[in-house]
Structure 1
Amino acid sequence: MIDVYLFSGFLGSGKTTLLKHMIGQVKAQGLKPAVFMNELGQTNFDSDSVDDGVPLKELLDGCICCSGSEKSEAQIQTLLAEETFDVLMIETTGAAHPVEALDAIFSPLFAERLNFKGIITVADSKRWLSRDELSPQIRSLFLEQIRHADLILANKMDLLTEGEQAKTIFELQSLNPAAQIIQTVHSKVPFKQLEKTTAKKSDDVVKAPVAKLNLDTRVLRFEAGVKRERFEEWLRTLPDTVYRIKGYVPLEGDKYPHAFQYAYGMAQWLPEYMKMQPQIVVIGEGLEGVELP
């Protein structure tokens, strides 16, 4: 039996960071991990985070929980046929409903080979406190991802005051009293905590309806290097409905583009040491008019 963990959480919550931590810890235990990743856009920058030698399958430009369910099932079946591994980690897109995503896992073609351990939801604690500012559809999905979790990582706790931390934990517990909640920074958690996770029985799960999301993606390509200050000024002009940006930004004077992550108004730059495609993916609502500076 292969242990399976499903990583859920809204855009920019820290799922890919969690995935990177877990890959390292699983390998340190002498186990072999495999990864299935889902991305809304046609390009998956997050797959660059997966170590060489780790079996990887992807579903791009679709959602594991809706139109891409059959494709996801086929990808997982191929992974099982081509590779030998002990742990399968599935990272859903930030727009996926976690219960619907389970359809691909419980396929009759291979369900008997998989031991589903549970839904691990990474909750952006700072976004949680301002959830009322989200559109109704997005807020509903955000709540659903937390409500159906078996383990909740209350992430980005370092960005909150002690009072805000207590308020966040209390409210998350009220929404999902059955789930264990762990406070995290940069999604750091011991793998043994995930191993203790037990999935809810299928008859315990009641899925609330979620309206169709109006999330859109745009790929913006750079023709030349940009000044970091000007690029960050452009970020500050973006509407609040831009939830996530990721990709590679070419900076003037640097040989290689920088890996770039943006969520909830906060940017992260990481140096790269190889030539990457100079482009970014923007995810959000109402992206008309969002163009590079």
Structure 2
Amino acid sequence: MIDVYLFSGFLGSGKTTLLKHVIQQAKDAGLKPAVFMNELGEMNFDSDAVEDGIPLKELLDGCICCTGSEKSEAQLQTLLAEEEFDVLLIETTGAAHPVEALDAIFSPLFAEKLKFKGIVTVADSKRWLDRSQLSPQIWSLYLEQIRHADLILANKMDLLTEAEQAQVTFEVQGLNPEAQIIQTVQSKVPFSQLQKISASKSGAVQEAPVSKLNLNAKVLEFQNPVKRDDFEDWLRALPESVFRIKGYVPLEGDKYPHAFQYAYGMAQWLPEYMKMQTQIVVIGENLEGIELP
């Protein structure tokens, strides 16, 4: 049977970074991983994190846990039919309820081939401390993602003081005392820790589908290169309802666009060495007035 791990966590928590670490560690252990990724928008920039040679299927512009459940099942069936692998890593969209996302995994079409190991939730520790700024719907989903985890990564601990680290760990553990909690930086956790977990019985599920969260994904295309300072000024002026931005930004003076990631007020720039489509995906609430500078 194929071991299956489901990576959960809100937008920008560090799920894709975790995915990259686990892929490499699984390969180092002599295992062949495969990946199934889910994204709200029509494009999945996070798929670039999956290196060539790793079997990959994607569900775009839908949620694995609701409207896209049948499509997810079909993609997984195709993956199992076309490829041979030892470990299946599922990265859900940040708006997915982890328990609802399990429907596709337990399809009668292939359930006997998969051994579900558990839910790994990446919790943004900084966002936890600033949770008063979240809408009630987003906060409800955040809690559900933690409550139903079998392993919790209290991530971004390097952004907190020692007192804040202790506070987050204590409060998150209190919400789900049965799950192991590990303090992490950049979602780094030994693959051996994942292999030790086993799925626990889930309690009552409080539904929080995307339609109730009012989350949207908006694609913004660049017509011309921009100055980095001007773009970062635009970022700082964005409302707090913008949770995540990712894509490729063309900067003045550079031959190739830069890969760009933004979550919770923090931006990350990475150089690219090939031509990429210069656009970004903005994810959040109330995005109607969000336009490029």
**Within 5 A, what are the aligned runs for 1:248-287?**
248-287=248-287
Partner of 1:167: 167
CA separation in 1, counterparts of 2:240 and 2:249? 21
Alignment partner of 1:17 is 2:17: yes
Partner of 2:208: 210
CA separation in 2, counterparts of 1:239 and 1:200? 38
Deviations 1:226-260 (A, max 9, x none): 10000000000000000000000000111111000
**Within 5 A, what are the aligned runs for 1:197-236?**
197-201=197-201, 204-210=202-208, 212-236=212-236
CA separation in 1, counterparts of 2:132 and 2:77? 40
Tell me the SS of whatever aligns to 2:213. Answer: coil
Partner of 2:37: 37
Tell me the SS of whatever aligns to 1:98. Answer: coil
CA separation in 1, counterparts of 2:174 and 2:88? 30
CA separation in 1, counterparts of 2:62 and 2:271? 29
Deviations 1:3-23 (A, max 9, x none): 000000000000000000011
CA separation in 2, counterparts of 1:200 and 1:274? 45
For residue 67 of structure 2, what is the amino acid of its counterpart? S
Q: State the TM-score, normalizing by the size of structure 2.
A: 0.98
CA separation in 2, counterparts of 1:135 and 1:101? 22
**Within 5 A, what are the aligned runs for 1:163-202?**
163-201=163-201
Deviations 1:207-226 (A, max 9, x none): 12336110011100001111
CA separation in 1, counterparts of 2:206 and 2:72? 23
Moved over 6 A (4+): none
**Within 5 A, what are the aligned runs for 1:115-126?**
115-126=115-126
Tell me the SS of whatever aligns to 1:231. Answer: helix
Matched residue pairs, number?
Answer: 291
For residue 208 of structure 1, what is the amino acid of its counterpart? Q
In the TM superposition, residue 275 of structure 1 has moved relative to its aligned partner by 0.8
Q: State the TM-score, normalizing by the size of structure 1.
A: 0.98
Deviations 1:99-147 (A, max 9, x none): 0000000000000100100000000000001112100101100110001
Gap regions ≥5 residues in structure 2:
none
Tell me the SS of whatever aligns to 1:243. Answer: strand
Please report the RMSD computed on the Cα atoms of aligned residues, expressed in angstroms. 0.7
In the TM superposition, residue 263 of structure 1 has moved relative to its aligned partner by 0.4
